[in-house]
Amino acid sequence: MWRRSASFILDKHQNNKPISLTPSIGSPPPLSASVADENLNPNHISAYYQTRAAHHEIVTSDWLEQAQAAVRRYLDQDSPVSGRPFSVIEEFDNWRQQPALAEAVAAIRALAAVIRASEANTMMELEIELKKASDTLKAWDTTSISLTAGCDLFMRYVTRTSALESEDFNSAKSRVLGRAEKFGEISNKIIATLSQDFIFDGCTILVHGFSRVVFEILKTAAQNKKLFRVLCTEGRPDKTGVLLAKELAKLDVPVKLLIDSAVAYCMDEVDMVFVGADGVVESGGVINMMGTYQIAIVAHSMNKPVYVAAESYKFARLYPLDQKDLEPALQPIDFGVSVPPKVEVERSARDYTPQFLTLLFTDLGVLTPSVVSDELIQLYL
């Protein structure tokens, strides 16, 4: 997962606890400024996106510890779970800290911790506890689609299998636990393997946003000695492009950075577009970092394929009708200069791409967008 140290501090802000950001490192100042703005809309600030933004800041380990300590203190006071000493949110946050973990996986690990700590004696009780924990997690951050989808998926798995089994409670519990631990373990590898065929020698790939899955794909391709070059969009305000460019340069992949507005300019030399997804919705569209829809439109108008790399636990039961039909997920936007007075800022962190997607690379295989609904129907039937 992203190095999400600052997120805890930001979360505190959401609950109107003014906290002076003591760390003097580069990251906080812009954040604090924007956080102040955010206080206007505490409910809409997306912890998810804020943490992602925070990743691109440089944090020292000291600062990290301080932030974690602060957050733990805060969370302990504000334990959302029903009075138990064990806090699923805390667990979740612990897991989230790990850079390599996806949000949904972190959530499921947290739920696994719930199972381990649970004192239930029957599957029904366990299910109820899990349901409560999952609802808590979902309520904690309503803007994170993969969190919701991951929780739903796991609950679905538990419900479905518990009904069928005739085994005793303990083996059922360990089975569910095992599934939770293994959740999402190798999906990235599978996706990377599937997508290798689509990257040919000499191709130019446009990437938007820093998706772990896409990075894994490119890394695997580089390791397979494929010759390709990557165009990275800058990805303001997160500056994901810079980060990705850095990582790719380490792999000796030729990288070129573009500003977001230069996508149409460069589109003719691009062979394919790769994006990740925050969530894949029932209509076959994706919800991803702001700017994805724009790129998809340009790519489509120039007949370039747009490939989305997403794990299957990101399939969500949402069906947005338009851009504004999602939960608003705002993020701080830093223009480099202070925003003039009486000027509003569009701060949504994500957009919805309903069409123009060519294929989805998932751990279930390479799918067309209309298969998403098929999978969801089968899953949630």
- Least separation in angstroms between residue 324's CB and other proteins is 9
When asked if residue 327 is in the footprint of other proteins (CB under 8 A), the reply is: no
Choose, by CB under 8 A, the member of 322, 337, 340, 344 that binds other proteins: 322
Stretch that binds other proteins, among 1-9, 107-115, 134-142, 278-286 (CB under 8 A): 278-286
Residue identified by tokens 């932030």 is: 67
Q: Is the peptide bond before 328 cis (omega within 30 degrees of 0)?
A: no
When asked if residue 365 is in the footprint of other proteins (CB under 8 A), the reply is: no
- Least separation in angstroms between residue 25's CB and other proteins is 42
Choose, by CB under 8 A, the member of 58, 128, 227, 321 that binds other proteins: 321
Residue type, 335: F
Confirm if 17 and 74 have CB atoms less than 8 A apart: yes
When asked if residue 164 is in the footprint of other proteins (CB under 8 A), the reply is: no
When asked if residue 346 is in the footprint of other proteins (CB under 8 A), the reply is: no
For 129, the 3-state DSSP assignment is helix
When asked if residue 317 is in the footprint of other proteins (CB under 8 A), the reply is: yes
Q: Which residue, among 99, 104, 109, 77, has the nearest Cα to 5 in the 3D structure?
A: 99
Choose, by CB under 8 A, the member of 200, 265, 319, 335 that binds other proteins: 319
For 335, the 3-state DSSP assignment is coil
- Classify residue 242 by burial, with Cβ atoms within 10 Å: 0-12, 13-18, 19+: middle
Instruction: Name 90's Cβ contacts closer than 8 Å, sequence gap at least 6.
Output: 72, 75, 76, 79
When asked if residue 377 is in the footprint of other proteins (CB under 8 A), the reply is: yes
Query: Which element (helix H / strand E) includes 353?
Result: strand 350-353
Cβ proximity to other proteins: between 89 and 316 the closer is 316
Cβ proximity to other proteins: between 64 and 297 the closer is 297
Within the chain, residue ranges assigned H as helices are: 5-14, 28-38, 47-55, 61-77, 88-97, 103-117, 123-140, 145-164, 169-182, 187-195, 212-223, 240-250, 263-266, 292-301, 371-380
Residue 52 CA to residue 62 CA, distance in Å, equals: 20
Stretch that binds other proteins, among 99-107, 125-133, 220-228, 276-284 (CB under 8 A): 276-284
When asked if residue 358 is in the footprint of other proteins (CB under 8 A), the reply is: no
- Least separation in angstroms between residue 276's CB and other proteins is 22
- Least separation in angstroms between residue 318's CB and other proteins is 9
When asked if residue 127 is in the footprint of other proteins (CB under 8 A), the reply is: no
Choose, by CB under 8 A, the member of 62, 65, 165, 325 that binds other proteins: 325
| C-alpha atoms less than 13 angstroms from C-alpha of 98 in its C-beta half-sphere | 14
- Least separation in angstroms between residue 305's CB and other proteins is 19
Q: Helix 103-117 to helix 88-97 angle, to the nearest 10 degrees?
A: 140
- Least separation in angstroms between residue 370's CB and other proteins is 4
When asked if residue 132 is in the footprint of other proteins (CB under 8 A), the reply is: no
When asked if residue 160 is in the footprint of other proteins (CB under 8 A), the reply is: no
Q: Helix 123-140 to helix 103-117 angle, to the nearest 10 degrees?
A: 140
Cβ proximity to other proteins: between 165 and 374 the closer is 374
Task: Please report, to the nearest 10 degrees, the dihedral formed by the alpha carbons of residues 266, 268, 271, 272 taken in order.
Answer: 60
Choose, by CB under 8 A, the member of 37, 167, 247, 282 that binds other proteins: 282
When asked if residue 355 is in the footprint of other proteins (CB under 8 A), the reply is: no
When asked if residue 284 is in the footprint of other proteins (CB under 8 A), the reply is: yes
For 322, the 3-state DSSP assignment is coil
When asked if residue 374 is in the footprint of other proteins (CB under 8 A), the reply is: yes
DSSP for 135-150, written as a single string:
HHHHHH-TT-HHHHHH
- Least separation in angstroms between residue 203's CB and other proteins is 29
Total site size for other proteins, rule CB under 8 A: 16
- Site residues (vs other proteins, CB under 8 A): 282-284, 317, 319, 321-322, 325, 370, 373-374, 376-378, 380-381
